[in-house]
C-alpha cells in the first residue's frame, strides 16, 4: 500500500481533504495520523495532533 500525505483544511467540527491521501503528520511529534483516526487539530494554526497529549502540549506552549 502506498502511503501518501493528505492536504487538509481544518474547520471547527470537521476537515476538508484538499489533496487525497491517507494520513497527515502530527505538528508536535511528527507521527503519521490516519485520516480515519484524526480527532485533534487546531483551526487557527491549521495543525493536526496525534492525541490529546500533543494538543495539550501545543496549548501550553502557546500560553507562555
Query: Does any domain span residue 46?
Result: yes
Q: Is the pLDDT of residue 2 over 80?
A: no
| pLDDT above 70 for 1 | no
Answer yes or no: is 45 within a domain.
yes
Q: pLDDT above 70 covers what percent of the chain?
A: 97
Residue 27 lies in a domain: yes
What range does the domain containing 26 cover?
Answer: 7-63
CA 5 distance to own-chain centroid: 11
Cα 47 from chain centroid?
5
Helix boundaries (H) for 1-64: 52-63
Looking at the domain assignment, is residue 16 inside a domain? yes
Q: What is the pLDDT of residues 37-53, one digit of tens each?
A: 999 999 999 999 999 99
Within a domain: 49: yes
Average confidence score pLDDT of the chain: 95
Establish if 1 belongs to a structural domain. no
Q: Is residue 2 part of a domain?
A: no
Look-up: residue for cell 471547527? 12
19-38, pLDDT tens digit by residue? 999 999 999 999 999 999 99
Whether residue 29 is contained in a domain is answered as: yes
- For the entire predicted model, the pTM comes to 0.91
Amino acid at each position: 500500500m502506498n502511503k501518501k500525505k493528505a492536504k487538509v483544511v481544518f474547520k471547527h467540527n470537521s476537515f476538508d481533504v484538499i489533496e487525497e491521501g491517507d494520513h497527515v503528520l502530527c505538528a508536535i511529534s511528527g507521527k503519521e495520523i490516519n485520516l480515519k483516526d484524526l480527532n485533534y487539530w487546531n483551526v487557527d494554526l491549521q495543525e493536526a495532533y496525534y492525541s490529546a497529549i500533543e494538543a495539550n502540549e501545543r496549548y501550553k506552549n502557546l500560553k507562555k
